[in-house]
Amino acid sequence: MLAHVSEVESGWQVRLEQVHGEGVMRLAVDAVASHPTDAASQATDRLLVALGFPASPASSGVDRQLMLTMKQVQAALIGGRTDAARELLTLARDTFPESSEWAYQLARIEAMEGDLDSAEASLASVLSETSVHDDPVAAARAKNLLGIVCYKKGDPDCVKRHSQGAIDLLIDSEGAADELGRSYFVRSMATFATGEWEASLDDLARARMLWTASGDRLGIARIDSNRGIIYRQRARTHEAVALLEDAANQLQAFHSVSDEAMARSNLVLALLDEGRPVDAIRHEPRLRELAELGRRYGLGAGLDLIRANLLIRNGRMTDASRIVEALHVLDEGESSPPASAEAYSVAAIDALARERFDFAERVTSDAIALDSNKRCNPRGMAKQYLTLARLRARHDPDGAASLSDRLIEVLPHEGRDQARLYAHLIDANVAVARNEPRAVQTALDAAYALAQSSSAPYDRLAVAETFVPWLLANDDLVQATRLVGSLGGMAQQNFEAAVLELRLYRDTGPWQAWLGAYDRAVALAGERAVPADLRPRSGQIPLTMR
């Protein structure tokens, strides 16, 4: 950030420049006023608006010099200079001890950096000193930030309570549109966490209307990111990709690291749900940058896990292993538990790709036991249950069968169709293990119907992976062809889909199709191995293909 102050004929001119990196991308604003403080305040407002941030005064009745200091704090935070922001707040505390504004801004930084108990204490102090009658916006602002702290602590009921309190304060207030929009946005976070997606989308729509009117482009990008996340969970993956890609790019332009990290990581997951790992891997370099930028805010580990998943899905096992080895998950005879269920999940994905099935079963079970996001991530939970059932059915079909009912029990109403689909796939794996052809066919009919009506492309891949090998082994080429055909062009990007297509062409021909499918599988394999029995050799060509 560069600042230039000069005296001009009509007063004082302040020019602010935001420099992006080392290139020529500069954003400059000017303001002229009779007093240098007023000029600086106006220039800061204009810069914030140009960057997509709201520039309304922090709260009513704030001293002009204190308001300028708070805008300098906000500018420092935009530039990622939290130490400078803290220094400014210390100065404000000493200069304006009677104001609660510095305490609120300090709580923002504490919440951003993960010091949640300190943030909660600071906001409790702010609320005790703020009159809801004299300054309802300031009180609502503190309640909204308390709601965000509660969300980070995993307490959605607390989020609802504080955000609803803020809405009640502002619903009839004049000039409170920005903060009212934030109240709806915060409440949407709570309803998302509890699986109430319709309510969450309704609140996001209310917030978007208010922030569009006020020109809060950063807020709109955050809303669109959250909408994209909900669409992904609802298997509306194509819409999710479009929303999340645009939101991630907008948030990158605003230098909002934590928000971009959320949007871009979900964009990658949506592309994987679409069966498009080759497109998804293009975002890995930016995820790596975000992981480094976000380590001080506790974002690095989660982004590294997504990167590892992404690398594995593209067959870059060596690159992924460097991340997976740092997870310190249970290994042969050793125990060093990781910090999250996500770490176990990625370790399981890595183990499956390396055909370490016993280890994969163990860590998948641990991931399910630790996962606290069943309601807001039903698709992820359903996938984990299916993975565990496939692994357990090898040696304990009865234990695998019990997972079907458990999956239906743990998932909320919003994820019920996905739960039913994956429960049918669990039933099918158990029936295959028990050699019960009629039960396999019953599960196939039910799963296929659900997959065609309300599923993401990856769900259709899960159906095909479950049934195609069994159908081919039982010479049912018609149904096998139908399932592989339902994957569309996924075999052009997805290794698992390419292997299924390869299996089909090996058994059905023609010879050139088998060769082409093999070439596609090899191109997508990376460091993974294409099954040896699928490799075309002239001596293997069935008579029907010669």
pLDDT digits (tens, 9 = 90+) for 163-208: 999 999 999 888 889 999 999 999 999 999 888 899 999 999 999 9
* Complete DSSP assignment for 502-534: HHHHHHH--HHHHHHHHHHHHHHHTTSPPPGGG
When pLDDT is cut at 50, 70 and 90, the band that residue 79 belongs to is: low
| Residue 391 included in any domain | no
Angle 456-460-462 from CA coordinates, rounded to 5°: 110
Instruction: Say if residue 24's pLDDT is above 50.
Output: no
Q: What pLDDT does 114 receive?
A: 83
For 523, the domain range is 476-546
Identify the residue whose tokens are 């309300």: 454
Listed residues 295, 316, 337: the one ending a domain:
316
CB of 181 within 8 A of CB of 214? yes
Question: Residue range 8-37: average pLDDT?
Answer: 54
When pLDDT is cut at 50, 70 and 90, the band that residue 538 belongs to is: low
Q: What pLDDT does 473 receive?
A: 94
Distance CA 498, CA 279 (A): 16
| Residue 464 included in any domain | no
Helix, strand and coil content of the chain, in percent to the nearest 5, comes to 70, 5, 25
CB of 176 within 8 A of CB of 206? no
User: From residue 357, how far is each of 186, 309, 311, 323 by CA, in Å?
Assistant: 42, 17, 20, 20
| Residue 432 included in any domain | no
| Residue 262 included in any domain | yes
Instruction: Say if residue 225's pLDDT is above 90.
Output: yes
Listed residues 282, 316, 350: the one ending a domain:
316
* Token pair listed for 450: 């659900």
Distance CA 477, CA 41 (A): 73
Beta bridge partners of 17: 2, 28
Task: Provide the 10 A C-beta neighbour count for residue 208.
Answer: 20
Among 229, 250, 259, 252, residue whose Cα is nearest residue 241: 229
**Residue of higher predicted confidence among 196 and 76:** 196
* Complete DSSP assignment for 305-362: HHHHHHHHHTT-HHHHHHHHHTT---BTTB----SSHHHHHHHHHHHHHTT-HHHHHH
CB of 379 within 8 A of CB of 418? yes
User: From residue 368, how far is each of 364, 383, 397 by CA, in Å?
Assistant: 6, 10, 19
* Token pair listed for 331: 């290994």
Q: Mean pLDDT of all residues in the chain? A: 85
- Tell me if residue 61 falls in helix, strand or coil: coil
Sign of CA dihedral 412, 418, 421, 422: negative
Q: What pLDDT does 69 receive?
A: 81
Instruction: Say if residue 28's pLDDT is above 70.
Output: no
Q: Which residues contact 172 (CB under 8 A, 6 or more apart)?
A: none
Quick: pLDDT tens for 335-374.
445 557 888 889 899 999 888 999 999 999 989 988 766 7
When pLDDT is cut at 50, 70 and 90, the band that residue 241 belongs to is: very high
Widest Cα–Cα separation across the chain: 94
| Residue 448 included in any domain | no
Listed residues 269, 301, 316: the one ending a domain:
316
| Residue 359 included in any domain | no
Instruction: Quote the number of domains for the chain.
Output: 2
CB of 403 within 8 A of CB of 389? yes
CATH code of the domain in which 167 resides: 1.25.40.10
> Would you call 214 exposed, middle or buried from its count of C-beta atoms within 10 A (0-12, 13-18, 19+)?
middle
| Residue 123 included in any domain | yes
* Complete DSSP assignment for 383-418: HHHHHHHHHHTTT-HHHHHHHHHHHHHHS-GGGHHH
Question: Residue range 302-321: average pLDDT?
Answer: 94
Instruction: Say if residue 546's pLDDT is above 70.
Output: no
Distance CA 401, CA 59 (A): 59
Measured N-to-C along each axis, helices 457-473 and 437-453 cross at an angle, to the nearest 10 degrees, of: 160
* Residue 490 DSSP label: G
Instruction: Say if residue 332's pLDDT is above 50.
Output: no
Q: What pLDDT does 25 receive?
A: 40
| Residue 210 included in any domain | yes
Q: What pLDDT does 384 receive?
A: 93
When pLDDT is cut at 50, 70 and 90, the band that residue 545 belongs to is: very low
Distance CA 18, CA 3 (A): 9
When pLDDT is cut at 50, 70 and 90, the band that residue 379 belongs to is: confident
CB of 203 within 8 A of CB of 184? yes
Q: Which residues contact 237 (CB under 8 A, 6 or more apart)?
A: 231, 270, 273, 274, 456, 457, 458
- Tell me if residue 256 falls in helix, strand or coil: coil
Distance CA 306, CA 493 (A): 18
Q: Which helix (H) or strand (E) holds 149?
A: helix 136-152
pTM of the model: 0.83
In this structure, which amino acid lies at residue 455?
S
Peptide bond into 510 cis (omega under 30): yes
User: From residue 132, how far is each of 105, 145, 391 by CA, in Å?
Assistant: 18, 16, 57
